[in-house]
Amino acid sequence: MKELFVLAEHRQGELRDVTFEMLTKGMELSQKTNADLTAVLLGHNVQEFAKKLANHAKKVLIIDDARLENFNAEAYQRVLFHLISERKPSLTLVGHTAFGVDLAPSLATELNLPLATDCIDLKFEGEKLVVIRQVYGGKVNVKASLRKSDSYILTLRPATFEAQETKPQGGKIVKIASPLSEDITYKRFIEYFQPPAGEVDIATADIIVAIGRGIKDTENMLVVEKLAEALGGVLACSRPIVDKGWLPNDRQVGTSGKIVKPKLYIAIGISGQFQHISGMKNSDLIIAINKDSKAPIFRTADYGVVEDLFKVVPSLTDKILEEKH
Amino acid sequence: MNVIVCVKHVPETAEAEIAIHESRKRIKTEDLVFDINEWDDYAVEEAVLLKEKLGGSVTAITVGSEDADSTLRKCLARGADKAVRLTDKAFEGSDSYAIAKILYKIIKDLPFDLILTGAQAGDDGCAQVGVVLAELLGIPHVTMVKKVESVEGHVKVNRELEGGLEEIVEAKLPVLLAVQTGINEPRYISIMGIRKAMKKEMKVLGLKDVGLTEEEVGESGSWITVEKMFIPPVEKEAEILTGGVDEIATKIVETLRAKGLI
Amino acid sequence: MEELGAIKKLNFNVCMQCGKCTGSCPVFPKSKLNPRRLMLETAYLISPLTMHPPLNIYEKSEIWDCTTCSTCSYRCPREVEPMDVIIGLRGLLLEQGRVPSTLGDALEGVYKYGNPWGISRSKRSDWAQDLKVKYVSEGEKAELLYFVGCAAAYDSRAQEVARALVKNLNTLGIDFSILGNKETCCGNEVYSLGEKGLFEILVEKNLSLLDQYGINRILTTSPHCFNAFKNKYGKDLAVQHYTQYFADLIDKGKLKFPQRVEKVVTYQDPCFLGKHNDIYDEPRKIIESIPGIKLVELNLSRGRSVCCEGGGGRMWYDIPGERGRLAETRVKEAIDVGADILAVACPFCLLTFDDAVKTTGNEDKIQVMDIMELVAEALLSSNEQVI
C-alpha cells in the first residue's frame, strides 16, 4: 500500500506540536486516499518519541543516528532523499517552520518532486493535488494545483490544523538503518542560543497592549504605553516594531517570539499576519484597533474598532483612568 | 568577499486595501506602490555591510519586468556594484522553483563566495527561492538568518527558530543565506544616491541569454500553478464597535468592567 | 561629498563665534545641538586643517535635533544663516544614509506615497468627502486653489482645520478647488531635512500639477507649505497663507463675524509664518476682529516666539529630554497669561500643543484652536452649519 509520510519535528527533547497537527490532517487524508499514514522520525535515542507517534500513525519509521540528534538540513536531506526515493510515498508533509523551510525546498529539488509551501489546506482532486495558501500577508488566499506527480511534498502552516486525540493507532515501529555514510561537513550545528530575557515577561502578563506597524513613530508608542499603564498591563508588539529596534525582542508576540494567553489582549495598529495571530489567538478577550476594516486581525478579535489609533487610544486611556478613580 | 544578492520587486500591501483582478489569478496593482521586498532590503544591506568590512563586490540580481529597475537602482544606491535583471515574456507565471532555475542559470557562471536572499517575499510568502537555488548550485544554505559572522572559509550564523530561540550554525563557503528581517538596520537611500547609482552597470538578459527553454520556465516549468485568488472567507468576525471616539471608548470600558478587567 | 560643495557656498566663514545662535537656540538647552560650535566645525570640515580631537561630523546625531525654526539665522549679527548650514550638514549625513530611522521612514513615505506618514494616496481627500468642494483634478475649475498639505489631509485633528477652512470659504461664497488625491507633499520638511534630491522631485511634480490645471493662486493651511511655495520653488508663485487671505477679506470689508466668542485668546507665532516670512500682524488682525475675543500676548511673541518643536522633521523624530518638550513650557506660559484658548495658525503647532495640553494635564484649563476654527465659530452658529 502507498504511504503518506509525516515528518516528525522535535527539538531539545520534545516533539513539536506541528507534528501532531500534521498527523491529524494526515490521518484524514490517508483514509480518503487509501494510504498508510507513516510518521518518519529522524534523531538519536528517540524511542520515546516513536512510542508517542505510534499512537497517531499506522507506522513509524525510525532512523537513529548520532548525526541526526539536532536538526541539520543537510543530514536530514540525505536521509529523506534515500527514504522517499525508495518508498515513494504519495505525499510527504513537513511543518512550515524554521526546520521545514530549511529542508523542504532543497529536498524537493534533489528529488525532482513538486513542492508547495505554507499550505493552510489541501486535498486530492483525482490525482491532482490542490492546496490553499495565503499571500499578501494573509489578505488573499490562493487555490493552487501542483504539477502532476506520483509523490508530492508540502509544508503545512503550524497552528492551522487542529491536533485531535484519536484512539491509539498502535502503529508499527520500524527501524531503518541510517543511510548516512559520511560525516556532514558543509553545515554544522553548534548550539542553541537563548537571547537574554529582559525585565518584563509578557508570557505571564494578564493584560497585554500590543503595537504593530500602524504605530508610525516612537512618540505614538508613548501614547499606547500610557494605555498599558492605565490598564496595569504590559506593552508587547509584532515583528516590525522589534525590527525597527523600538522594543526588545522579548516583547514580540508570535511564532518567532512569545506565545501569550492573557485575559485581555489589545492589538493596536497590528494587521494580523499569521505569525502574530498564532502567538495570541488563545487570549481570553481580544480587542483590535486598526484603520483597515479588512485587516486580518478582525478575524481573530472579539471586538474591533476601525479608527485612527491616535484618536481612540488617548480617549480610551482617559476613560479607563476615570473609571479607576 | 564577492556577494550576490537576489531581490524581488513587490507591491507594498501591509497597509493597503487589496482587490482581486477580474482574471481571479492576481490582485489589482494599479493603486499599489512597488518597492524592494522587505526581506531582500535587509539582505542587500547585509551584503553591503560585509563588503564594507571585508572588501569584494556585491551584485544584485532580479527576475522581473522593467518596473523592477527601480528596485535594482535602490540596491546599487545602497552599495551594490552591479545589477542584473532577467526578463522575458516566457518567465511570466513562473513559481519559486522556476525563478530559482532562472537565477541558477546565470549565477552558476558568476564568481561568488556568498549568496544572500530574503527569507521570503511579502507577496507570495513561499520562502523557497533561496533554498532551491542553493540546491541547484550544489552549495549549502542557511535560512532565517539573524546574524552573520565571517570566519576563515566559513560563516557562523544565527538562525531564528520559534519562540525566540536561536540556533548557531557553521557553514562552509560558498554558501547561500536567506536572511530574516531585523538582521540589521537598512540605511536610508537618498534620491541623490539613486541618481548617482544610474551610472553603475545594469545588465538585462532574456531567456536565450540564460540558456533555458520556454518549457523550463513559466507555468510549464513550475511546481505550482495558481488556479484562483480570493479574499479569505470570514469564519469569525469581531464585533465592530461604532460611533464617535468617546462612544467607542465608553463601550470598551464597559466591556472591560463587565469582565472584571478594570 | 556633493553636499559639501553646497555648504561651501554658504556665508558661514564670516562667523565670529559670538554665540548668539546657540544662546537663542530653543533646542540647545535640551540637546547637544550647538549651532555656534557647528559653524566652527563646518569651517574645519571644508578647510585643509584638522581639528583636535579629530572631528567626525557623521557621528553628530544632534544635527537632527534642529527644528529649523530659524531663530539662529534671525539673531545672527553677520547674516551667517546657521540654520542653512545645519540643513547642509543634514544633506551630508543623508548621503551616507545616516539618518534616524523614523526620519528615513518619513522621507520614504513622501517618495512613495506623497506624504510623510506613508498613508495611501487614495485616502488623501477622505477628509473632504462630505463637504462641498471642487476637485480641479476632475476638471472643476476655480480661481483659487486650496492646497491642503499632508498634515491637514491625513491627521485627524488637523483635518478639522481643513474642514473649518472649507466651511468658512463656502460661507463667504468664495470659489475654490482642491487637488484631491493628486495633491502631493510640498516638500518643506523634506528640504529642511536636507533631502535635496527628493525636494527637487517634489518641486517638479507640484509645478507640473499647477501648470497642468492652470492654477494661478494658491492658499495653504500650513505655513510650511506656504514657505516652500513662496521661497523654495524658485518661481514667483502667487501663494498666500490663509491668515493673509482672511486678513485681506477683513480689510476689504468682506468678512464680518455675526457671532461673539467670549474668550481670552493668546497666539503662538508659527516659525514659518513669523521668523521665516515676517507675517505677524495678519493672524492678530483676524483674532482681534472676532467680537468678544480678548487677545493677550505671550511673554515671548512675534520674532521672539519659541518654536513648538514640530518643524525641521521633528514631527517624526522625538528627542527625549529631562526638560520636557518646548510645547509643554509654551502651554504653561499660555495658561499663565490667562488665556482660555491658545490659538495657532499651523497644523504642526496644533498637534504638538494639543499633545502638550494632555501631557501636562491641562485639558480643563486651556484649549488649542486653529484660527480657522475660531473664525468658523464666529461665522456660524451651531445650528446653521454650512457644508
Q: Which residues in chain C are closer than 8 Å to A314, comparing Cβ atoms?
A: 358
Q: In this structure, is residue A194 part of a structural domain? A: no
In tens, the pLDDT along B188-238 reads 999 999 999 999 999 999 999 999 999 999 999 999 999 999 999 887 889
Residue C332: how many other CB atoms lie within 10 Å: 15
Mutation for B interface: A208, A256, A265, A276, most B CBs within 10 A: A256
| Rounded average pLDDT over C187-199 | 97
Same domain, yes or no, for A36 and A141?
Answer: yes
Give the mean pLDDT of chain C. 93
Residues contacting residue B51 through CB under 8 Å, at least 6 positions apart: B1, B3, B57, B58, B79
Measured between CA atoms, the residue of chain C closest to residue A291 is C119
Q: Which residues in chain A are closer than 8 Å to C316, comparing Cβ atoms?
A: 216-217
Residue type, B262: I
Residues contacting residue A71 through CB under 8 Å, at least 6 positions apart: A9, A11, A99, A102, A189, B167
CA distance C360 to C326: 12
Same domain, yes or no, for A164 and A282?
Answer: no
The structure's pTM equals 0.92
DSSP secondary structure, A212-229, as one string: -TT--SHHHHHHHHHHHH
pLDDT of residue A310: 82
Measured between CA atoms, the residue of chain A closest to residue C102 is A217
From chain B residues 97-116, the ones with a CB under 8 A of any chain A CB are 97, 100
Residue A48: how many other CB atoms lie within 10 Å: 10
Contact C97 B194 (CB under 8 A): no
Site of grid cell 545588465: B203
Measured between CA atoms, the residue of chain C closest to residue B16 is C120
Instruction: Specify whether the CB–CB gap between B117 and B176 falls below 8 A.
Output: yes
pLDDT of residue C383: 47
Q: Which residues in chain C are closer than 8 Å to B192, comparing Cβ atoms?
A: 2, 94-95, 196-197
| B neighbour chains, 3+ CB pairs within 8 Å | A, C
User: Is C94 an 8 Å CB contact of chain B?
Assistant: yes
In tens, the pLDDT along C321-342 reads 677 889 999 999 999 999 999 9
Residue B242: how many other CB atoms lie within 10 Å: 12
pLDDT of residue C248: 97
In tens, the pLDDT along C291-324 reads 999 999 999 999 999 999 999 999 999 886 677 8
Mapped onto helix, strand or coil, the DSSP state of residue A36 is strand
| Rounded average pLDDT over B6-16 | 93
In tens, the pLDDT along C205-264 reads 999 999 999 999 999 999 999 999 999 999 999 999 999 999 999 999 999 999 999 999
User: Is A9 an 8 Å CB contact of chain B?
Assistant: no
Mutation for A interface: C101, C155, C350, most A CBs within 10 A: C101
Q: Inform me whether the pLDDT recorded for C385 exceeds 80.
A: no
pLDDT of residue A152: 98
Q: Do domains C101-248 and C256-379 have the same CATH topology?
A: yes
| Rounded average pLDDT over C66-70 | 97
Buried (b) or exposed (e) across C130-147, using 16+ Cβ within 10 A?
A: eeebbbbbeeeebebbbb
Angstrom distances, CA of residue A266 to CA of A212, A234, A246, C58: 11, 10, 18, 40
Q: Which residues in chain C are closer than 8 Å to B193, comparing Cβ atoms?
A: 95, 97, 197
CA distance A98 to A134: 18
Share of chain C above pLDDT 90, in %: 83
Mapped onto helix, strand or coil, the DSSP state of residue A261 is coil
In tens, the pLDDT along A47-94 reads 999 999 999 999 999 999 999 999 999 999 999 999 999 999 999 999
Measured between CA atoms, the residue of chain A closest to residue C319 is A219
Question: How far does Cα B110 stand from its chain's mean position?
Answer: 21
Q: Inform me whether the pLDDT recorded for C284 exceeds 90.
A: yes
Q: Inform me whether the pLDDT recorded for B95 exceeds 60.
A: yes
Below-70 pLDDT ranges, chain A? none
H or E stretch covering C198: helix C196-212
Contact A217 C318 (CB under 8 A): yes
Contact B223 A141 (CB under 8 A): no
pLDDT of residue C361: 87
pLDDT of residue A256: 85
CA distance C223 to A288: 36
Last residue of a domain, one of A159, A175, A191: A175
Rounded to the nearest 10°, the torsion over CA C232, C233, C235, C241 is: -70
Site of grid cell 557656498: C9
pLDDT of residue C2: 63
Give the mean pLDDT of chain B. 96
Domain C101-248 CATH class label: alpha beta
Residue type, A184: I
Q: C256-379 — its CATH code?
A: 3.40.50.10700
- Among B80, B64, B39, B35, smallest CA distance to C111 is for B35
Angstrom distances, CA of residue B61 to CA of A46, B47, B125, C106: 44, 13, 19, 28
Sign of the alpha-carbon dihedral angle for B191, B192, B193, B199: positive
Pick the CATH number of B3-221 from 3.30.1360.40, 3.40.50.620, 3.40.50.1220, 1.10.357.10: 3.40.50.620
Question: Where do the H-state alpha helices sit in chain B?
Answer: 38-54, 69-78, 96-107, 129-137, 191-197, 207-210, 245-258
Provide the ipTM: 0.94
Q: Which residues in chain B are closer than 8 Å to C104, comparing Cβ atoms?
A: 187-188
CATH number at residue A253: 3.40.50.1220
| Rounded average pLDDT over C261-271 | 97
Q: What is the DSSP letter of A255?
A: T
Mutation for B interface: C105, C111, C185, C196, most B CBs within 10 A: C111
What are the extents of the domains in chain C? 2-95, 101-248, 256-379
Same domain, yes or no, for A91 and A240?
Answer: no
pLDDT of residue C387: 47
Least confident of A306-315, B87-96, C19-28, C104-113: A306-315
CA distance A235 to A237: 7
A223: domain range? 202-324
Instruction: Specify whether the CB–CB gap between A235 and A251 falls below 8 A.
Output: yes
Q: How far is A170 from chain B (nearest CA, A)?
A: 31
pLDDT of residue A221: 87
In tens, the pLDDT along B66-75 reads 999 999 999 9
Q: How many domains does chain A have?
A: 2
User: Is C84 an 8 Å CB contact of chain B?
Assistant: no
pLDDT of residue B16: 86
pLDDT of residue C287: 98
Instruction: Specify whether the CB–CB gap between B42 and B179 falls below 8 A.
Output: yes
CA distance B226 to B217: 15
pLDDT of residue A199: 81
| Rounded average pLDDT over C273-301 | 97
Q: In this structure, is residue A127 part of a structural domain? A: yes
Greater model confidence, B152 or B148: B148
Instruction: Specify whether the CB–CB gap between A227 and A200 falls below 8 A.
Output: no
Same domain, yes or no, for A167 and A233?
Answer: no
First to last CA, chain B: 58
Question: How far does Cα A283 stand from its chain's mean position?
Answer: 17
